[in-house]
Chain A
Amino acid sequence: MSAGHSYDAEAYWKANLRLIFGSLIVWALVSYGFAILLRPMLAGIPIGGTDLGFWFAQQGSILTFIALIFHYAWRMNKIDEKFGVHEE
Chain B
Amino acid sequence: MSQFAINIMFVGGSFLLYIAIAIWAKAGSTSDFYVAGGGVHPITNGAAIGADWMSAASFISMAGLIAAGGYANSTFLMGWTGGYVLLAMLLAPYLRKFGKFTVPEFIGDRFYSKNARLVAVICLIVASVTYVIGQMAGAGVAFSRFLEVDSTVGLMIAAVVVFIYAVMGGMKGITYTQVAQYCVLIIAYTIPAVFISLQLTGNPLPPLGLFSTHVDSGMPILDKLNQVITDLGFNEYTADIDNKLNMVLFTLSLMIGTAGLPHVIIRFFTVPKVADARWSAGWALVFIALLYLTAPAVASMARLNLMTTIYPDGTAAEPIQYDERPNWIKEWEVTGLIQFTDKNEDGRIQLYNDSEAFAPTAEARGWNGNELVVNRDILVLANPEIANLPGWVIGLIAAGGLAAALSTAAGLLLAISSAVSHDLIKGSINPAITEKGELLAARISMAVAIVVATWLGANPPGFAAQVVALAFGIAAASLFPALMMGIFSKRVNNKGAIAGMLTGLAFTLAYIFVYKGWLFIPGTNNLADTPENWVLGISPLSIGAVGAIVNFAVAFIVSNATEEPPVEIQELVESVRYPRGAGQAQDH
Determine whether the beta carbon of B71 is less than 8 Å from that of A69.
no
Known: A2-B571, A31-B78. A76 touches B581 (CB 8 A): no
B165 to chain A, nearest CB (A): 30
Determine whether the beta carbon of B273 is less than 8 Å from that of A70.
no
Known: A13-B577, A57-B71, A66-B282. A23 touches B89 (CB 8 A): yes
Determine whether the beta carbon of B74 is less than 8 Å from that of A65.
no
B residues less than 8 Å from A76 (CB atoms): 93, 275, 278
B residues less than 8 Å from A13 (CB atoms): 577
Docked Cα-Cα span, A40 to B242, in Å, equals 11
Known: A35-B74, A39-B240, A55-B211. A2 touches B575 (CB 8 A): yes
Whether B279 is near chain A, meaning CB under 8 Å from some CB there, is yes
Chain A, Cβ-Cβ closest to B72? A57
Whether B559 is near chain A, meaning CB under 8 Å from some CB there, is no
Which residue of A48, A73, A84 is within 8 Å of B211 (Cβ)? A48
Chain B, Cβ-Cβ closest to A13? B577
Determine whether the beta carbon of B77 is less than 8 Å from that of A57.
yes
Which residue of A37, A47, A48, A62 is within 8 Å of B293 (Cβ)? A62
Chain A, Cβ-Cβ closest to B209? A48
Determine whether the beta carbon of A48 is less than 8 Å from that of B274.
no
Docked Cα-Cα span, A51 to B223, in Å, equals 11
Determine whether the beta carbon of B89 is less than 8 Å from that of A24.
yes
Whether B547 is near chain A, meaning CB under 8 Å from some CB there, is no
Determine whether the beta carbon of A20 is less than 8 Å from that of B286.
no
Docked Cα-Cα span, A49 to B85, in Å, equals 30
Chain A, Cβ-Cβ closest to B201? A48
Determine whether the beta carbon of B580 is less than 8 Å from that of A49.
no
Which residue of A24, A49, A65 is within 8 Å of B84 (Cβ)? A65
Whether B219 is near chain A, meaning CB under 8 Å from some CB there, is yes
Which residue of B84, B220, B286, B580 is within 8 Å of A86 (Cβ)? B580
List A residues 44-64 near B (Cβ within 8 Å). 47-51, 53-55, 57-59, 61-63
- Proximity string of chain B (246-265) to chain A, C-beta cutoff 8 Å, 1 when within and 0 when not: 01100110000000000000
Known: A24-B85, A40-B240. A57 touches B78 (CB 8 A): yes
Determine whether the beta carbon of B82 is less than 8 Å from that of A66.
no
A10 to chain B, nearest CB (A): 10
B residues less than 8 Å from A73 (CB atoms): 88, 275, 278-279, 281-282
Determine whether the beta carbon of A49 is less than 8 Å from that of B82.
no
Which residue of B74, B282, B292, B575 is within 8 Å of A70 (Cβ)? B282
A residues less than 8 Å from B213 (CB atoms): 48
Determine whether the beta carbon of A49 is less than 8 Å from that of B221.
yes
Known: A35-B78, A66-B285, A76-B278. A50 touches B251 (CB 8 A): no
Determine whether the beta carbon of B281 is less than 8 Å from that of A69.
yes
Determine whether the beta carbon of B74 is less than 8 Å from that of A68.
no
Determine whether the beta carbon of A58 is less than 8 Å from that of B575.
no
Determine whether the beta carbon of A62 is less than 8 Å from that of B78.
yes
Whether B233 is near chain A, meaning CB under 8 Å from some CB there, is no
Determine whether the beta carbon of B85 is less than 8 Å from that of A65.
yes
Secondary structure call for the A interface = helix
Docked Cα-Cα span, A32 to B220, in Å, equals 26
B residues less than 8 Å from A77 (CB atoms): 275, 278
Determine whether the beta carbon of B574 is less than 8 Å from that of A36.
no
Whether B207 is near chain A, meaning CB under 8 Å from some CB there, is yes
Known: A58-B77, A68-B85. A1 touches B581 (CB 8 A): yes
Which residue of B286, B575, B582 is within 8 Å of A66 (Cβ)? B286
Whether B579 is near chain A, meaning CB under 8 Å from some CB there, is yes
Determine whether the beta carbon of A54 is less than 8 Å from that of B289.
no
Determine whether the beta carbon of A69 is less than 8 Å from that of B85.
yes
List B residues 434-461 near A (Cβ within 8 Å). none
Docked Cα-Cα span, A71 to B398, in Å, equals 37
- Proximity string of chain B (111-139) to chain A, C-beta cutoff 8 Å, 1 when within and 0 when not: 00000000000000000000000000000
Docked Cα-Cα span, A31 to B74, in Å, equals 10
Determine whether the beta carbon of B248 is less than 8 Å from that of A32.
yes
Which residue of B219, B252, B282, B293 is within 8 Å of A49 (Cβ)? B219
Chain A, Cβ-Cβ closest to B577? A13
Whether B296 is near chain A, meaning CB under 8 Å from some CB there, is yes
Whether B238 is near chain A, meaning CB under 8 Å from some CB there, is yes
B residues less than 8 Å from A40 (CB atoms): 240
List B residues 75-119 near A (Cβ within 8 Å). 77-78, 81-82, 84-85, 88-90, 93
Docked Cα-Cα span, A54 to B220, in Å, equals 14
Determine whether the beta carbon of A37 is less than 8 Å from that of B281.
no
Docked Cα-Cα span, A48 to B222, in Å, equals 7
Determine whether the beta carbon of B220 is less than 8 Å from that of A48.
yes
B345 to chain A, nearest CB (A): 38
Chain A, Cβ-Cβ closest to B571? A2
Determine whether the beta carbon of B582 is less than 8 Å from that of A3.
no
Determine whether the beta carbon of A37 is less than 8 Å from that of B244.
yes
A71 to chain B, nearest CB (A): 9
A residues less than 8 Å from B574 (CB atoms): 2-3, 5, 9
A36 to chain B, nearest CB (A): 5
Chain A, Cβ-Cβ closest to B286? A66
Whether B212 is near chain A, meaning CB under 8 Å from some CB there, is yes
B59 to chain A, nearest CB (A): 16
Chain B, Cβ-Cβ closest to A55? B211
Docked Cα-Cα span, A27 to B255, in Å, equals 11
B residues less than 8 Å from A58 (CB atoms): 71, 74, 77, 210, 296
Docked Cα-Cα span, A34 to B580, in Å, equals 38
Whether B4 is near chain A, meaning CB under 8 Å from some CB there, is no
Which residue of B74, B240, B279, B580 is within 8 Å of A87 (Cβ)? B580
Docked Cα-Cα span, A50 to B219, in Å, equals 12
- Proximity string of chain B (264-282) to chain A, C-beta cutoff 8 Å, 1 when within and 0 when not: 0000000001110011011
Q: Mind listing 20 A-B residue pairs with CB under 8 Å?
A: A20-B90, A35-B78, A36-B251, A48-B222, A49-B220, A49-B224, A51-B238, A54-B238, A59-B210, A61-B78, A61-B81, A63-B289, A65-B289, A69-B84, A73-B275, A80-B579, A85-B578, A86-B580, A87-B274, A87-B275
Instruction: Please name 14 further chain A to chain B contacts, defined as beta carbons within 8 Å, in addition to the given A48-B210, A57-B77, A87-B582, sorted by A numbering.
Output: A24-B85, A31-B251, A49-B238, A50-B238, A51-B238, A54-B222, A58-B77, A62-B77, A65-B81, A65-B82, A66-B289, A69-B285, A72-B88, A87-B274
